[in-house]
Structure 1
């Protein structure tokens, strides 16, 4: 499936075949593609906790308000992030680049984030998580799977369940599997004139 078709056909599917098991090759491919999601300065601040164990998924489902897709889908991926990844041996993010490039970019990473404050660092994690989540969902669709992004869960319970390190943050969760039935028809898209502006917001925008 080409990218444009995957964008058009990707939907938030709620009902999955609990008997279907994703082949390991597909799982590896999906996560390899997730790691290609872009991050600022290539700091790769996202982290992925892929819940596959049946008992762990039951606990995760309980923390997600008993939503069945958590246990019925093949994968439940908690997309997290490390706001301090920029400070952890940042030279490794550019180790394959020419030395001249490393000499410019590596100091820029520390300069930017050390002066930006914790809110910007946290926001950077959320941006990276969002991009990675969409990458996973589009890749899954192109591979013949369906997905559903989720924020319906108790973040503290999930953090405890997955052993989230101190200082890390949870963005959201994505489940991936084989749909039992398609999503409902789209609820209704806003007209482009309401959300797409040229050069600047119009004076009457709200």
Structure 2
């Protein structure tokens, strides 16, 4: 498929073949492609938890309104972000760049975020969302379906996955082989409700 076909055919699938096991090569390719998602200052502050343990997924399902796709999909991905990524050595993100680029961008990162809790949280959600969308489109290209999820008890899931204190939990994405098609796609809102040009007034 090409990118347009992936966008047009991607749907939020709720029913998966519970017998399907994702080959390791497919999983590694999904992770490789997901890590190509953009992030502010190239911080790559998204964190991807790959959940395959059946017992753990049963517990997560119980914290997710008993939604079957948590356990039935081939893999459950949980998208998080490191809220302290801006504190790392800038060379971690820019060591590959020409020295003049390192000298310009490196010193900007920490002061841009330091003490700005809302900005840090916003960045965490932005980066994990970009990674998640990249993952879903890559999954579609590899013949898989997916479903972004926020319908779960975040505190309970955080405890189950032993979420580090400096991580922010964003959302979950089950990925697998569709067992039942999605409902018809809902009508898109008209442009006049969602699109503006130059200003909103």
Q: Which TM class, normalised by the smaller chain length?
A: over 0.9
Partner of 2:150: 151
| Structure 1 residue 14: Cα displacement | 0.2
**Structure 1 length normalisation: TM-score?**
0.95
| Structure 1 residue 177: Cα displacement | 0.3
Partner of 2:175: 176
Is 1:71 the counterpart of 2:71 in the alignment? Answer: yes
Once the two structures are overlaid, the 10-residue window that deviates more, 84-93 or 33-42, is 84-93
**Structure 2 length normalisation: TM-score?**
0.97
Once the two structures are overlaid, the 10-residue window that deviates more, 177-186 or 54-63, is 54-63
Partner of 1:132: 131
SS at match of 1:65: coil
| Structure 1 residue 90: Cα displacement | 2.4
Unaligned stretches of 5+ residues in structure 1: none
1:44-69 C-alpha deviation (Å, 9 max, x unpaired): 11101110111111111111111000
- d(CA) in 2 for partners of 1:81 and 1:172? 10
- d(CA) in 2 for partners of 1:67 and 1:57? 11
Is 1:93 the counterpart of 2:90 in the alignment? Answer: no
Is 1:51 the counterpart of 2:42 in the alignment? Answer: no
Is 1:83 the counterpart of 2:83 in the alignment? Answer: yes
Residues 98-109 of structure 1 aligned to structure 2 (within 5 Å): 98-109=98-109
- d(CA) in 2 for partners of 1:50 and 1:65? 20
Partner of 2:41: 41
- d(CA) in 2 for partners of 1:162 and 1:102? 36
Provide the aligned length of Structure 1 versus Structure 2.
Answer: 201
- d(CA) in 2 for partners of 1:124 and 1:39? 8
Runs of 4+ residues deviating >2 angstroms = none
| Structure 1 residue 111: Cα displacement | 2.3
1:94-147 C-alpha deviation (Å, 9 max, x unpaired): 1111122111111011221126x1110111001111111111111101111000
| Structure 1 residue 199: Cα displacement | 1.1
Partner of 1:26: 26
1:56-98 C-alpha deviation (Å, 9 max, x unpaired): 1111111111100000001111100111101022221111111
